[in-house]
Amino acid sequence: MKTEKPKRLEPVKNTLRLLCAYSGNLCAFPGCNHLIFNADGDLIAELCHIEAALPEGERFNPDMTNEDRRDFNNLMFMCHEHHVTTDNVDKYPVRKLKEMKAEHEAIFSLERMSDRIAEKLYDYTSQLTVSTVLNLNNLYQVLGIKNRDKEEREMEVKDFNKQIKIFKNLSNEAKITLITSVQRLKNDFYERQKYVDMMEIGRVLNLYRNELFQYFDELESSGLMVVNEIEIRDNRYENRHQLKSKNRDVDNSFFEEIYEYCELLDIDFREFMLDLDFFSLDD
């Protein structure tokens, strides 16, 4: 088997988008408050390899492919000072840098990027092509859903592709708001309906009140969320947001089913949705 010649490959745009989203706009070195982007949206830090892209670099791993070396899991943002500091491979082996990356991203995984930074990067999601599904057979096999006749399957595929196209055209902030809402759905008093606690989502995403209402308004306008009267306590009704149900006689939404699918297969739901690649849901 011919050995692949090591060469430096630039990260793909989707990888850059995820790295920025999970960075919190801060250097990944513990305790460092150096920004990744300044107020003008200019990059003032460095994108670093955990295991080097080329043989002369620190922690180079000859068993990795060039694609592995530019993968999300092998990259992190650091300021110049700490990029140099971590060149000490004895003090900062691969294991330590991976732990550093994981701990940093765990803190900021739900943090929003500012509008200015998002505009300065790229509008990545607008450049991505959303994949359409053909049958959703794998989704329903994993979820154990059976007895879908031909007409029902065709309608679901059509509705799924329509909703995913709408999702693709949302602002980045509205996408994250929807994803987080799916992950934190609440049950009504009788556990017959699920709803979104808008104020909780605002706290989780650290949103200002006007931002929170702006993103939920966008989700309502898109048709992916609706407002209904929900019995949240015994005989206590309040207007709450709900995910738009499928266009058939069921209460759950496609987004809930995708979330359940990801949970069952140990897939990162947020990353799965932002990748806009849904081919795996077919057979």
- Residue holding tokens 């008093």? 189
Give the span between the Cα atoms of 79 and 16, in whole angstroms. 16
* Residue 205: predicted pLDDT: 84
pLDDT tens by residue, 29-51:
998 989 998 877 788 999 999 99
- Residue holding tokens 């971590």? 86
Lowest mean pLDDT among 36-40, 120-124, 136-140, 165-169: 120-124
* Inter-residue long-range contacts of 266-270, CB under 8 Å, 24+ positions, other chains counted: 269/179, 269/182, 269/183, 270/109, 270/176, 270/179, 270/183
Which of the four pLDDT bands, split at 50, 70 and 90, describes residue 179?
Answer: very high
Whole-model pTM: value is 0.56
User: What is the SS3 assignment for 229?
Assistant: strand
Domain ranges of the chain: 13-121, 133-281
In sequence order, which ranges of the chain are alpha helices (DSSP H)?
A: 13-23, 66-69, 80-85, 94-108, 115-121, 124-127, 137-143, 150-168, 172-183, 198-204, 209-222, 254-264, 269-275
Within 10 Å of residue 258's Cβ, how many Cβ atoms?
22
Of the options 1.10.3470, 3.40.50, 1.10.10, 1.10.287, the CATH number for the domain spanning 133-281: 1.10.10
Q: What is the mean pLDDT of residues 210-237?
A: 85
pLDDT tens by residue, 7-22:
998 888 888 888 988 8
Lowest mean pLDDT among 66-80, 109-123, 129-143: 109-123
Residue 124 confidence (pLDDT) above 80: no
Taken as a whole, the chain contains a residue count of 283
pLDDT tens by residue, 204-222:
888 888 888 999 999 999 9
Angle at the Cα of 258 (from 174 to 115), degrees rounded to 5? 15
